[in-house]
Structure 1
Amino acid sequence: MIELDQLTKTFTQKDGQKVTAVDSVSLSVGEGEICVFLGPSGCGKTTTLKMINRLIAPSSGRVLINGEDTMSLNEVELRRHIGYVIQQIGLFPNMTIEENITIVPRLMGWDKKRCRERATELMSMVALDPKLYLKRYPKELSGGQQQRIGVIRALAADAPVLLMDEPFGAVDPINRESIQNEFFQMQRQLKKTVIMVSHDIDEAIKLGDRVAVFKRGKLVQYDHPDTLLAHPKDEFVGAFVGADSTLKRLLLIKAGDAATQPETARAETPLAAAYQMMEESDNRYLTVLGDDRRALGYVQRRVARNGQGACADQLRPFASTVSVEDNLRIVLSKMYQFNSSWMPVIDGDGQYVGEVTQDSIADYLSSGRSRRQTGQAAIVSPAVAAAEAAASV
């Protein structure tokens, strides 16, 4: 866990005036989380990031990693245990790709076999063939490929903490999305504690478990991305997340969050009873389940009105289904693709969970609810807890 406690940095200009670049920032990042520092240029994001690995010395306040004050550590050893990625990539042109990736492991005394295995493993994670690329030099790679090497080099020594200063900002949009996706998949496997600087709200909500919004050196809001979009603290945050913040939320909210649980029928349920259920709920359809709660299909109200027999006799297959983890953007895309106003939601075991409708999506987005991060809550100090409460809605 990374904890910033009243972290402050003041610079003295040539004329003797003091400028506060970072002003009493307190927050905590849980183990295995991605925190994105977001804000306009000059707001203190990069200065805060550099104070974590002591590239810049704080004027006051503390940085703690797993409860240990970083000022009590040898700064060289500290940096060897913190991966660092910059926008300019910074590969050494006179070294091969393998040598670039393994520079820190070699400094830490890893043997050649272990270094080669680690480089090979990481290259595979970013879809670069080790046999083709490890012996090449940076100038022989494209910009996107070099950026991939810059990211995995920071992971080579298996450091638990990763700091990233606008790591994808210099990459073209197509490569940027691809590298972001690859990084996200790597993070799901490696579970590093990551702090990333960005000025791109779309990147922040795509990658971040929590987002810290900075303004003139101060932490304005620190929240889960969906809470940030649903409840911006002030006009500054609202303007920064954009007028289309509701549409951005579609990427964050899962089908399981917006699902409802209407009445269902069994295959043996008489059509007359099914029709009565649809009349009472004013639904045009009714989902039919098997004994194992697997969705078999549905019956239509107009068919059941004068029908004889059971639901199994008039069963229609679903045009499509969605999983619990599908985001609402995928759900809406499927609805428009199949010209449907609803989709059944199926869990990982293939069982019926409920259904998501265009109305339930609209209700969720307008209800004021937000999707907060799940899992074990991070333990924070009283000072950080108070600061985070002040910086949240």
Structure 2
Amino acid sequence: MIELDQLSKTYTQKDGAQVKAVDTVSLKVAEGEICVFLGPSGCGKSTTLKMINRLIAPTSGRVLLNGEDTSSIDEVSLRRHIGYVIQQIGLFPNMSIEENITIVPRLLGWDKKRCRERVMELMAMVAMDPKKFLKRYPRELSGGQQQRIGVIRALAADAPVLLMDEPFGAVDPINRESIQNEFFQMQRQLKKTVIMVSHDIDEAIKLGDQVAIFRAGKLVQFDHPDALLARPKDEFVGAFVGQDHTLKRLLLVRAGDAATTPTTARPDVSLDQALTLMDDQDTRYLTITDADNRAVGYVTRREIRGLSGGAASDKVRPFTINAAPDENLRVVLSKMYKHSTSWMPVIDADGAYLGEVTQDSIASYLSSGRSRGMALAA
């Protein structure tokens, strides 16, 4: 969808010296994905963003949208078909909220009915009552409310591409998290192709499908967030993502990624056989599944040791907690600590047993060098 091909921007200083703000940046962002540009102040990330909609003209290189070089597209037409959100929000103070939201659709010739329907749809997405807010002016809204309007205004014309320059940076932490969550939910519905500038590594790994780390105008690393945290390319990237980068990965890795698949048994397995299976696996428990591989429960070594005869079904304990395959490891570990357990079965929405996740399997995954980026690429 978006490709930057050897994109560069050079400025000439008063003394004639040439300064490269952006130095031969190349990357591709797939349709429907969020890419976050990350890096310290002055690294070239905002300049790169603004060259995409030609607010800044490139010195060299190309920007391609769906394979078309944007230099061949009329600037006004290009910008009307690319949503743009900035940190300062940029709402027009003399226009009502409804007029602000619909400014681009009206320029594109949408009729009043279509504009109103789009406004109602977008206001619902950010949980703002149209009857209460549409006739108000920006000065009558809080900072968080204005930022929400700024985001949905960029979405109003249903442009396939959205550029966001530190869109949540000026919002207080509580509102920021709320707006991030709302935006993420909107993105799951709308599937826009988004490039966002941020200075916040936590925001980048929370929202991004890909993260681009910039330094002194150069693209240092471009990767899936988990791959970035698992394998920083150099000391600069490692310092930028933080010393706690392994713990940050807990939000990105799913239970299904870190799960193992131990041997299970049917309810009619004998207690002696159950003990043998636990000995073979050196575990203190054995998961029991039915003929359809649905989790029935588990038996423990302590409870069946010394017993002879009978079937495991006589001593099965039902599972009181479990992990869904898509739950992140931070949630999984929280459940484990809350219930004072070192393991949980991984069970899907249909009740099928997919394996188990343990504190050891989590540690093993995080230290293995594997990442979700590798799995998704495969």
* 1:314 alignment counterpart: 315
Distance 1:218 1:275 in 2: 59
Q: What residue in structure 2 maps to residue 212 of structure 1?
A: 212
Give the alignment's TM-score, normalised by structure 1.
0.94
Q: Give a deviation string over 1:244-277, Cα, whole Å, max 9, x none.
A: 0000000010000000000111111111111111
Q: In the superposition, relative to structure 1, how do residues 63 and 153 fare at CA in structure 2: closer, same or farther (>3 Å)?
A: same
Deviates more, 1:299-308 or 1:328-337: 299-308
Letter in 2 for 1:215: R
Contact 2:227 2:374 in 1 (8 A): no
1:58 corresponding residue in structure 2: 58
Equivalent positions of 1:1-393 (< 5 A) are: 1-307=1-307, 308-372=309-373
Equivalent-residue separation in structure 2 for 1:122 and 1:310 (angstroms) = 58
Question: 1:191 offset after TM fit, Å?
Answer: 0.5
Query: Contact 1:126/1:148 (CA < 8 Å) preserved in 2?
Result: yes
User: Deviation of residue 348 (structure 1)?
Assistant: 2.9
Question: In 2, distance between residues paired with 1:133 and 1:90?
Answer: 17
Change in Cα spacing, 1:373 to 1:366, as seen in structure 2 (3 Å) is closer
Deviation at 1:279, TM superposition (A): 1.3
How many equivalent pairs are there?
A: 377
Shift of 1:15: 2.2
- How far is the alpha carbon of 1:17 from its aligned partner? 1.7
Q: Which moved more, 1:136-145 or 1:354-363?
A: 136-145
Structure 1 position 96, deviation (Å): 1.1
Instruction: Classify the secondary structure of the residue corresponding to 2:372.
Output: coil
Query: Secondary structure at 1:296's aligned position in 2?
Result: strand
Q: Give the 3-state SS of the residue equivalent to 1:368 in structure 2.
A: coil
Deviation of the 1:349 alpha carbon: 2.1
* 2:208 counterpart letter in structure 1: G
Amino acid at match of 1:23: D
CA distance in 2, matches of 1:373, 1:189: 25
Structure 2 partner of 1:380: none
RMSD: 1.2
Deviation at residue 376 of structure 1 after TM alignment: 8.2
Q: Which runs of 4+ in 1 moved over 4 A?
A: 373-377
What TM-score do the two structures reach when normalised by structure 2? 0.98
Contact 1:84/1:154 (CA < 8 Å) preserved in 2? yes
Cα separation, partners in 2 of 1:13 and 1:109, compared to 1, 3 Å: same
State the partner residue of 1:391: none
User: For 1:151 and 1:373, how far apart are their aligned partners in 2?
Assistant: 32
Q: Structure 2 CA distance, aligned partners of 1:90 and 1:178?
A: 20
Secondary structure of 1:100's aligned partner: helix
- Partner of 1:382 in structure 2? none
Unmatched 5+ residue regions in structure 2? none
Kept in 2: contact 1:97–1:135 (CA 8 A): yes
User: Which of structures 1 and 2 has the larger relative contact order (alpha carbons within 8 angstroms, sep 6+)?
Assistant: 1
| Distance (Å, rounded) in 1 between the aligned partners of 2:314 and 2:246 | 42
Show CA shifts across 1:325-349 (max 9, x none): 0000000000000000001001232
Report the Cα distance in structure 2 between the residues aligned to 1:139 and 1:5, rounded to whole angstroms: 41
Q: What do the CA deviations read for 1:198-239 (whole angstroms, capped 9, x no partner)?
A: 011000000000000000000000000111111111100000
Contact 1:86 1:165 in 2 (8 A): yes
Q: 1-side partners of 2:211 and 2:349: how far apart? A: 29
Structure 1 unaligned regions, length at least 5: 378-393
Which secondary structure does the structure 2 equivalent of 1:247 belong to? Answer: helix
Q: Tell me, in whole angstroms, the C-alpha distance in 1 between the residues paired with 2:233 and 2:207.
A: 21
* SS of aligned partner of 2:27: strand
Deviation (angstroms), 1:317: 1.8
Alpha-carbon distance in 2 for matches of 1:334, 1:196: 33
